[in-house]
Each structure stands twice: as structure tokens, then as C-alpha cells.
Amino acid sequence: MAKIVLGMGTSHGPMLSTPPEGWGLRVPDDRRNKHYYKGKVWTFDELVELRKPENLEAQITQEVWTRRHTACRAAIARMAEVFDDVKPDIAVIVGNDQMEVFNDDLIPAFSVMMGESIINNMYSQARLDSLPEGVAVSVPGFIPEQGATYTGVPELGRHIVESMMADNFDVTAIKRMSPVETPHAYGFVYRQIMNDRVIPSVPVLVNTFYPPNQPTIHRCHAFGKALRRAIESWDSDLRVALISSGGLSHFVVDEELDQMVIDSMRTNSVDALADLGEDWFQAGSSEIKNWVPVASAMADLPVDMTVVDYIPCYRSTAGTGNAMAFVYWR
């Protein structure tokens, strides 16, 4: 039977692939947008007023940005080192789509890729030009300039689909994710954790972002248990890495929420997270639900969780930004 030999959780936000002097480029968009924070929706100005006691001005200096960017890059390097040291044969990657594969006409709650190849082409210049300010600079962090085609694992993908269906999870089977691009949740792992030495993989997609069919925290937890059973029941002697990509809190940093997430992974209990309510897990912070299945699966194995680093990366006095986290189980 297949064996899970490594678990990983990594953030993948654009700030990780943006020079620190460019972290403020996203603030004009932050000012225009409304934001989820602690289960409520706020304007940028409302958040500035709410968070004045935190003295966030001290968090958004160039010195702090440079220091935290350096820490993020060191954590990514450590994750890549661990991955390279373990040398798994196959990766199962739990991430989410942001209209890179699906659109408003079709958004499955859970999907599994069971195709032979995964295409990751560089955006056209027109697409790059259409991106919000401060995003285009990060694109090489998840797409090689010359593009790439990666190898899927149809046999494992199909087995996961069949096993999950038997385990009462109705999942969408995908033969081709996109003829153009790979969702950045996966591209980041291929480029920066695998360092472009990409092993065969099975992407698993969770609809974290888009109502009305976002799986709940408890459902994601149960999904992780079933995913572990599916992988371990595959008739193969191959060694598998199980990786989550996304999170933690954003587009508003919430360090209290992030520590609850990390504590829940240590204790294999999501009750406290679920009790917060689904409104806490919207927009960027919804990607915490990519971590829950992997943490749930790894909790049943005789492995230890190592927190490589947790780095709250603020970019404004409203607390906008991305909290970055990097953990592994081995």
C-alpha cells in the first residue's frame, strides 16, 4: 500500500514572490475593497480606526518589510530542503482555485485531478497588464517564464475519487484542469517547494472562496481523514507527500486566528475554529480550509509537526496583508 511519508503546509501569497520594496503596491486596492475580519465586513477606513491601538505603523516600515521578507524566503528554503531530503515519489496537493480552472457557471465543492498532465503556461502580456497593481511582479513565483507541463498520476487520482465516493464524499473528477494555466496554489509548490524539479502529483481542489457551496471547517476535517484512507489504500509501494497550499489569514492579518489554527493542528481539534462560524473563513482567510484536511490526515500518523516559521506580513495601518506560515510533519 502507498505510504504518506511527509506532510507540509505552506502559504503561497503574492507577497512571498514580491520584493519587499513592492509590498505597498497593493494598498490602493486595499483601500477600495471591503474586507472580512473576525467574522464581519469592514471598509479600509473602519479597520484603520479599529486597529489604531495595535500601532500598525511600526509594522509597515521598509526595515520591517525587508526583515520579514527575508524570514519568509528562509522558511521557504527550509521547506524545500525538507522536501528534497525526504524525496517522495508522488505529491498530493490540497489547494483552491480562484477562477483559474472554474468560473461562475461551475464551482465544485471538492475536486480531484485524475488527468495525465498539468499545464502551467505563462500569462499573456494582455493578462499581465490587466492584473491589479502589484500582482504581476509575483507571477514568476508560480509560473516559469517558459511555461511547463507537469506529470499527473491518473491511477492515484482515480483511486482517490473512487475511495472518496465510497466514503460519502461527492467529488468532481477532473481530467484536465485547464488548457492554459495551473492555479497558483499548485504552481507555487511546483516552483518554490519543489524548485522546478517537479514530481508526479495529484491536485485536490477545495472551494474555499466562493459561496454558496464552501465546505465547512468540520467537513474539511472529515475530508482529510478520508483522503488519508484513500491514499493509504492505494495498491502501490510509492511514497507520498501530502501538501496544503494557502493561507493563513488574509487579506487582513489576524494573528489571534492564526494561532488558533496552529494550535488546532497541534491538538487535532477543529472545534474551536468551527465554533467561530463560517464568516471568519472568507476571502483570503478561507484558504485555511486547505490546511485543515492535511493537518487532519497527518494527525493520525506517527509523525511530529514542526513549525518552521510564522510571519505576519502587514502592508497597511488597516492590517491588510498576509500572515505566512510554514510547517511540516515527518
Report the CATH number that the domain containing residue 59 is assigned in CATH. Answer: 3.40.830.10
pLDDT score of 216: 97
pLDDT score of 132: 87
154 vs 203: CA distance, rounded Å: 11
**pLDDT tens digits along 84-129:** 999 999 999 999 999 999 999 999 999 999 999 999 999 999 999 9
pLDDT score of 25: 95
- Percent of the chain surpassing pLDDT 70: 100
Length of the chain: 330
Angle at Cα 248 formed by Cα 215 and Cα 205, nearest 5°? 40
pLDDT score of 178: 83
**pLDDT tens digits along 123-167:** 999 999 999 888 999 999 999 999 999 999 999 999 999 999 999
29 vs 297: CA distance, rounded Å: 37
pLDDT score of 134: 87
pLDDT score of 177: 87
104 vs 189: CA distance, rounded Å: 26
pLDDT score of 133: 86
For the chain, residues with pLDDT lower than 70 are: none
The torsion angle over the Cα atoms of residues 48, 52, 58 and 62, rounded to 10 degrees, is 10
CB of 182 within 8 A of CB of 100?
Answer: yes
Residues 6+ away with beta carbon under 8 Å from 98: 183, 184, 209
Amino acid type, 37? Y
Residues 6+ away with beta carbon under 8 Å from 265: 9, 291, 295, 299, 305, 327
- The conformation of residue 87, written as its DSSP 8-state character, comes to -
203 vs 220: CA distance, rounded Å: 16
Residue-range definition of the domain harbouring residue 41: 3-329
The burial class, CB within 10 Å (0-12 / 13-18 / 19+), for 330 is: middle
pLDDT score of 309: 98
Count: domains in the chain: 1
Around Cβ 225, how many Cβ atoms within 10 Å?
15
